[in-house]
Amino acid sequence: MTLRLFNTLTRRLEPFTPIVPGQVRMYVCGMTIYDLCHMGHARMMMAFDVVARWLAASGYAVTYVRNITDIEDKIIKRALERGITIRALTDEMIAAMREDLAAIGTLPPTHEPRATDYVPQMLAMIRTLEDKGLAYRADGGDVNFAVRKFDGYGKLSGKSIEDLRAGERVAVGDDKRDPLDFVLWKAAKPDEPEDAKYGGDYGPGRPGWHIECSAMGCALLGERFDIHGGGQDLQFPHHENEIAQSEGAFGHQHVNVWLHNGFLNVDNEKMSKSLGNFFTIRDVLKKFDGETLRFFFLRTHYRSPFNFSDQGLDDARTALRRLYTALDGIDLPADNMAIDWAQPQAAAFRTAMDDDFNTPGALAVLFELANDLNRSRAPATAALLRALAGTLGVLQQAPRSFLQAALGGVGLDEATIQAQIAARAAAKAAKNFAEADRIRQALAAQGVELKDAPTGTTWVRA
């Protein structure tokens, strides 16, 4: 089966053909880095981590760019509130973001550009747009994009010029010729800190948000590349404006395939900082381990919205433990085996993933393998289970380590548990079965399940 992707631009599933055979260039809009990442951000970055992993597993050489917006009104405001420089704030938040993403198994992108390192490229693109009559200098010092001069505006979002309202986009300023126009360069205000100002042909100021991604994508991937991704909320106006800027400047198509992940909701409402209904990644990690969070996301197709809840995370943890329990006690090689994609279950897994990254379908194959493994205890089945799961970034821990891990670092330690196992063994040897049962029940009450076998007693977290 050929890899098929749902292209937001064409609104249909399409066979994927890279521009350069064997290579994929992908850009994803990353974080505006003024605060800790929340679970909605994790959902987006996890979705495209899976995309990059599967493309690599399919044999493509992947160049994955995920940017960082490190200059923006909210960043300036937060730095001033905290009495620190913009760079100090963004460095701190970038370090926290990387730590959080590593905890949920998200691999670093090939490139992670900071917007402030690409201001010259942004200015060059703005000059090109101005030379082509698509941008103009406003009386207040801003430089704006003239939306009505770009044919095809609205093709990504399906919005026509006639239907658009200024309130859907950005605040309408007095220096715009048309309320639909958007800013490319924001002139500095007198009360703004010096580290928020950049020089150039248009006077001190800073780039608009939309031009940042156009310039960084072009600089690192070329004027046309294979895939552009991001959250559904970026489809309009951000990605619509990227198309207008980039195609206006280059004179040709900018991106072949646009991918957008669905929202992570709370009580069926989008999780966001503006609504105040968000949970940071690190707060959730106090109750649930990172792999459980990852598995929680994998159980829903990346384009589908779904609700965040402790119940959903509990269910994900239970399901993940089923897979690790199947692997427990089987000797596995240190590295994952090469996958024979002709093997029936591997082929079924690939069919699911090639269908627009259908992770729920792929997980169903993993559970089928786990059921087979519970019956056969065959090392080859275990190796295939772990190797397939590895393409999704799960089941890569030692099974016993995962099954014994205390949730949130709370629980009996290894030495205490082993001492109780030894006491129980002594009680059984003395035929004091009531005491042996009491020890088992006491451990169970504290979340420790004992497993008796001819080779001795082992344990896992219940």
pLDDT over 50 (residue 326): yes
The model scores a pTM over 0.85: yes
Report the alpha-carbon angle 457-384-394, nearest 5: 75
Q: What mean pLDDT do residues 286-290 have? A: 94
Instruction: Classify residue 267 as left (phi > 0), alpha (psi -120 to 50) or beta.
Output: left
How far is residue 335's CA from residue 331's CA, in Å, rounded to a whole number?
12
218 is an annotated ligand-binding site residue: no
pLDDT digits (tens, 9 = 90+) for 395-446: 999 999 999 886 555 566 777 788 888 889 888 888 888 888 888 887 887 7
DSSP string, 59-91: T-EEEEEEEEE--SHHHHHHHHHHTS-HHHHHH
All structural domains of the chain:
19-265 (3.40.50.620), 286-404 (1.20.120.640), 411-461 (no CATH)
Is 242 annotated in a binding site? The answer is yes
Unique residue bearing structure tokens 């009104």: 73
Q: Is 37 annotated as a binding residue?
A: no
Residues facing 198 on adjacent strands: 205
Q: Which residues pair with 137 in a beta bridge?
A: 143
**Edge-to-edge strands, sheet with 264-266:** 269-270, 264-266, 306-307
Task: Show contacts of 75-80: CB within 8 Å, 24+ apart.
Answer: 75/32, 75/33, 75/34, 76/192, 76/193, 76/196, 77/34, 78/34, 78/35, 79/193, 80/193
State the Cα–Cα distance between residues 253 and 135, nearest whole angstrom. Answer: 19
pLDDT tens-digit series, residues 167-220: 444 455 567 899 999 999 999 999 999 999 999 889 999 999 999 999 999 999
* Structure-token pair, residue 355: 């269908």
Yes or no: say if 28 and 65 are a contact pair by the CB < 8 Å rule: yes
Residue-level pLDDT at 18: 98
Q: Identify the three-state secondary structure at position 422.
A: helix
The answer to the question of whether 41 is labelled as a binding residue is no
Q: How far apart, in whole angstroms, are the C-alpha atoms of residue 426 and residue 446?
A: 21
> What percent of the chain shows pLDDT beyond 90?
77
Query: What does the angle CA 35 – CA 40 – CA 45 come to, to the nearest 5 degrees?
Result: 90
Query: Is 213 assigned a ligand-binding role in the annotation?
Result: yes
Low-confidence winner among 39-53, 262-276, 300-314, 363-377 (lowest mean pLDDT): 262-276
The Cα–Cα gap between 6 and 447 comes to 44
